[in-house]
Amino acid sequence: MVPKRLGLIASDPWVEKVLPNIDLKELKVKQENRLYDIFVDKLKSLELIFDRPVSSINWKIAIEPVTVDEIIENLKTLHGVPVPKDKLKLGLDIDTIGEHLINASYYDGRFKQEFTFMISIKLWEKKTKATI
């Protein structure tokens, strides 16, 4: 209805005139394709940011590394993407300050498809009173 510049709600009397002319199957396919596109765009831009205190000896090393479990938990709670632990390609915990790219894969039941994507993990120095 948007291409026809009509924004109608169910209680609008115009709905009865316009609704018979709308191909509901085609509309549903367009909606499903749009949801798929939105989901894929979301996977393309996944980013997690962690801040940690750094070592006093080497300022590029975090005292507490980012673990696989933290990454999985944040992906699920912040982005709604429950990646299984075995599908996250991370050998060791991340303890180096900077940006890290990690490969992951995830099966989504809505689209009945396996998605492989990269996650940007950013590990920043946590600002403490001593460093401010």
d(Cα 120, Cα 11) in Å, to the nearest integer? 46
H/E stretch holding 87: none
73 neighbors 56 (Cβ within 8 angstroms): no
pLDDT score at 132: 47
68 contact partners, CB below 8 Å, separation of at least 6: 85, 88, 90, 93
61 neighbors 97 (Cβ within 8 angstroms): yes
Q: What is the pLDDT of residues 26-55, one digit of tens each?
A: 888 989 999 999 999 999 999 999 999 999
> For every one of its 132 residues, what pLDDT tens digit does the chain have, with 9 covering 90 and above?
455 666 656 677 777 777 777 777 888 898 999 999 999 999 999 999 999 999 989 999 999 999 999 999 999 999 999 999 999 999 899 999 999 999 999 999 999 999 999 999 999 998 866 554
Which domains occur in the chain, in start order? Answer: 15-125 (3.10.430.100)
Beta bridge partners of 7: none
pLDDT score at 125: 93
7 contact partners, CB below 8 Å, separation of at least 6: 1
pTM over 0.85: no
